[in-house]
Amino acid sequence: DAGITQSPRYKITETGRQVTLMCHQTWSHSYMFWYRQDLGHGLRLIYYSAAADITDKGEVPDGYVVSRSKTENFPLTLESATRSQTSVYFCASSERDSEAFFGQGTRLTVV
């Protein structure tokens, strides 16, 4: 099925552990994004990618690492998870200057 999928949907991890959130899109969109959304707030951009092997920081990149070796995948890694990184993470994709399509989100809890 065409679309954008995130995995896992829910994740509980311990402080200090490394965790990777996966994002896969089937449209071959050039742009992909990672956002976090804290309870009751809007989205904040963590990282984005304009094409394979091109990534750039967003508003809140500290503590996160991304890669984009293939156009369709854009994994987000928390190198050493902290409680402040407890949030809902959304991945999105788009063509340049076009509407963004969002995944269902990953609810991450760091204990």
Quick note: the x/- pattern for another protein over 64-83, rule CB under 8 A, is: --------------------
- The pair of three-digit structure tokens given for residue 80, joined into one six-digit string: 């050493």
Residue 66 CA to residue 1 CA, distance in Å, equals 25
* Smallest distance, another protein to C-beta of residue 100, A: 5
Quick note: the x/- pattern for another protein over 29-68, rule CB under 8 A, is: --x-x-x----xxxxxx--x-------x-xx---------
Query: Could you say whether residue 85 binds another protein (CB under 8 A)?
Result: no
